[in-house]
Amino acid sequence: MSQEMVMSLAIIGGMVVLLFMGLQVAWAIGIAATAALWLLANQSIDQFGWSSWDATYSFSLTAIPLFVFMGSILSESGICEKLFATLERWLGRLPGGLAVSTLAACGVFAAMSGSSMASCATFGKIAFSPMDKRGYSPRLSLGSIAIGSGLAPLIPPSVLMIIYATWVGIPITNLFAAGLVPGVLLTVFFILTVIVMVKLNPSLAPASPRFTWMERLRSLREVVSFVILILGVLGAIFGGIMTPTEAAAMGAFLSIVLTLAYRRLTLAMIRAGLLDALKVTTMSMFIYATAITLTHALNMTGITTRVATSLVALNIGVVGTIAAVGILYLILGCLFDSWSMMFLTFPFVVPVLNSLGVDMIWFGVFYVVVAEFGLVTPPFGLSLFILRGVVPEHSIETIALGALPFIVPVLLMLVLLTAFPEIAMWFPGVLYR
C-alpha cells in the first residue's frame, strides 16, 4: 500500500473519529479537507477558498432558500390544517382514515416545502392531536407522521435533489421529474400499509365519521388556490417555461400574496420564513463547500480513481454494486442524516457508479428513497427526534416502533426501482426526449 493511500486512510479515519466524538459534520469534513490539501495534494490552504467559491457560486443553488421560504410561509398560513381537514373528508372513511389523510397530506405538502424537517414538525402539531382524541394507537399515529415526512425529499421541489443534481452535474428538472412518479407510488404504498394494518387489527384505529358530498365539495374551496400554486410552480419547471430558481422565486412571491389574501400574513411569519431559509441554506452550503474541497484534494492525488478501479475490479456487476451501496446507506442511515451521508460518501461512490455506467438521475431517486429510510431508524433518525420534541409525551422508542412497518414499502420501492428503472425514468423521458 502506497504512502499516499496510508495517509488518505488516516485522514478519512480521523474524520470519522471526529464525527463520533460529536463534532459537527461540516467542521469534521473541513478539517479532513484541509489536511488532505496540505498533506496529500501539496496545495496551499488558499485552495479551500477557491474550491468553496466554485462549488457554491451557482444560480441553481439559489433555488434552495426560495423553496424553503415558500414552504415556511405556506405552512404558517394555515394551509396544512385546511389540507388535512379536506383530505379527511375525502379519505376518512378508509380504514385508519386519519392516518391515511396524514400520509396523503404529507405527500401534497412535500410539493410545497421539500423539507422533511418542516413536514415532520408541521404534521406532528396538527395531525397527532386529532388522532389521539379519536383513540388511534400512538404507534400508528406517530409512525405515519414520521414516515410521511420522508416524502418531502422525494416529491419535487426537493432541497436534497437540488444539492445532489448540482454535485453530480445533472439537470435539476430531470431529477425532479424522475422523483415524481416514485414519490406518488410510495405515498400510495404507505396508505395501503395503513389500510392493511388496520384491517388486520381494527383496534389500531376507530371508524371515522361520515361526511356528505356537499361537505367534501365545500372543503375543496379551502385548498384549491394553494393547489393551483403548487401545480403552477411544478408546471413552469416541467414545461420548460422557467428554471427551478425562477419558479422558486415565483412560488415564494405568490405564497406571500395568497397568505395575504387569506389575511394570515404577519411580519413575524415573514421573519420566521427568512430565518428558516437562512438556516437551511447556510448549513447546507457550509457542508457542501467543505465536501467539495475534500473531493478536490482526493481527486488531485488520484485516490478516488484507485478506489473506484479497485471496487469495479471486484466484478460483482451493476446490480451487485447497487445492492452493496444500498446496504451501506441503510447502515449509515442509522447514524447520519441524508445530507451528511451524501457529502461523506459521494467522493468515493460517484466515481464507482460512473465507471459502471449507472444513470445518475436514476441513482438520485434511489439514494433519496434510501435516505428516507434513515429518517426513522434509531439511534439517530432525524424524524424521531423532531417528532419527540413536538409530542414529548411519547418516547422515541414508540415512534420508531410505529414507523417500523412502513420500512416494508420503502424496501419494496428500492427493489422495484432496481428491477424496473422505468419507474423513475419514464416521466423524464416523456418530458425531455
Mean pLDDT (the chain) is: 88
Distance (Å, rounded) from C-alpha 232 to C-alpha 321?
39
At CA 181, angle to CA 179 and CA 183, rounded to 5? 65
Please give the C-alpha separations between residue 50 and each of 27, 42, 47, 302, in angstroms, as whole numbers. Answer: 18, 15, 5, 20
* Cα–chain center distance at 399: 19
302-339 pLDDT, tens per residue?
A: 777 777 777 777 778 888 999 989 988 888 888 777 88
Residue 239, φ and ψ in degrees, nearest 5 = -80, -5
Cβ proximity of 153 and 368 under 8 Å: yes
Instruction: For residue 34, give every residue at least 6 positions away whose Cβ sits within 8 Å of its Cβ, in sequence order, or none.
Output: 45, 48, 293
Distance (Å, rounded) from C-alpha 34 to C-alpha 48?
7
Average pLDDT of the segment spanning 250-272: 90
Distance (Å, rounded) from C-alpha 187 to C-alpha 304?
37
- Domain parsing of the chain, residue ranges: 3-432
- 210 band by pLDDT with thresholds 50, 70 and 90: confident
- The amino acid present at 66, given as its one-letter code, is L
Distance (Å, rounded) from C-alpha 229 to C-alpha 227?
5
Distance (Å, rounded) from C-alpha 290 to C-alpha 343?
9
3 pLDDT above the threshold of 70:
no
289 pLDDT above the threshold of 80:
yes
Contacts 24+ apart (CB under 8 A), 227-231: 227/108, 229/74, 229/254, 229/255, 229/258, 230/108, 230/111, 230/112
- The amino acid present at 373, given as its one-letter code, is F
1 pLDDT above the threshold of 70:
no
The DSSP string of 311-350 is HHHT--HHHHHHHHHHHHHHHHTTTS-HHHHHHHHHHHHH
155-169 pLDDT, tens per residue?
A: 998 889 999 999 899
SS3 78: coil
